Structure 1
Amino acid sequence: MPRILCFLLLVLLTTTAFAQRTISGRVVAQTTKEPLPEVTVRVEGQPGAVVTDKAGRFSLTVPAAETPLTFSHLGFQPVTVPAGQLGAEVSLAEQSYLIGEVQVSYVQLQKLLLRQWRIAPASLDDAARVITARVRAQSGDKAEMLEKNPDAVRRVMESARYDFRPDGIVKTKLMIAGHKLRWQLDEESRTLTVVDQEGGERKIKVVELTADRLVLLGQAPNAPAITYVPAK
């Protein structure tokens, strides 16, 4: 009997030790074997997650050996691996998708999107109307002022610059005013999500994306498609 109790105690201690065990690893791209930063590593059934660093490395505590860990990153196919079967490296396969009827990978997409854009001259009037409508939803008085000065609104839109950066930040500048927003692209739905400094979220449809043209469509009813071109 004492031997059985000792055995059960040993098993219990081993299980507890694993439950408290911190595991670590490295996430790489399957084709290039390059490290993948900003990969979300989530323990299924638990809130929160960790994100890989610039070297693709992560570290987190798992509750049990059979606990599934999910690895996900924009532009790559997600992978789920039991914690006990985790190796030194986790490989994610690149996922391709269509933008403007052209098959584009996430890496290619980054090269296309990560630049400074301005509103194309042909879309300035539409952009001015979109801004005025957005202001009207917040303040009728301010919208009335904009409606009385359409040329001024157009000049502001003409000065607007949108600088998309690889760290998920988009710097916007209108005249002398500047803001930092966060952006994320969902390749499956072709939706660009922009989050402002107050946490307000806006979803925009990506209609077309090439080296010299970006076409976005807001979700408001009857919203016009706005075309952007490289600012420099």
Structure 2
Amino acid sequence: MINNEPAILLRDLSFRWSPAKPPVLQIPLLEIARGERLFLYGPSGSGKTTLLNLLAGVIKPQGGELRLLGQVLSRFSQRQRDAFRARHIGVIFQQFNLIPYLNVLDNVLLSAHFARLPLAESRQCAEHLLDALGLSTALLDQLARQLSVGQQQRVAVARALVTRPEILIADEPTSALDSDSRAAFMQVLLDTAAEINCTIVFVSHDRSLQPFFSRALDIRELGNTAQLEASC
């Protein structure tokens, strides 16, 4: 049976950092279909990172409904949100957030560990992803702190995808790359994500990346009323 329910549904969602300040985000309705590739843009302070943190379950809205993969995430406890994120959501951070004293393979397998997936299968998947991303087996035992920026970035992608998540969230992952490297990286990222047919929410201020995606949205068009001083 085909599941027509969207991967992500936000309805009357609101979030503020302090009761004394205006809402950072107010979104009457946002639907993101399963398998969709959404490019989300907007100026600094417009609430992009706040929205990603809500989608990842790092923070919780004060009002409205946040539904992911049919689950009402806004009703979950912090522990339930953490468990849901580990199993169903891959996250690529702007600063990559690799563990510097762990090697490449162990950094990737960390996501599988938190998702409580079988080690043998996860290792096989990790090695396949790293190979697809252009990282040779000779690098698997190399420490993360010894890698170039481009290599760290690819390890971060593999870590986000090793659990085969239904949703991939990316926060400005190309900001440290030049234009040629950005285009090459985007193609590898999207090709790799297509293998598992995950929904992608990609945030960037770089509008040149927009053609890689099936839909683009300015976060301000979602009903955002963010104030610069309240942004994350």
Which structure: greater strand fraction? 1
TM-score, structure 1 length as denominator? Answer: 0.26
TM-score, structure 2 length as denominator? Answer: 0.26
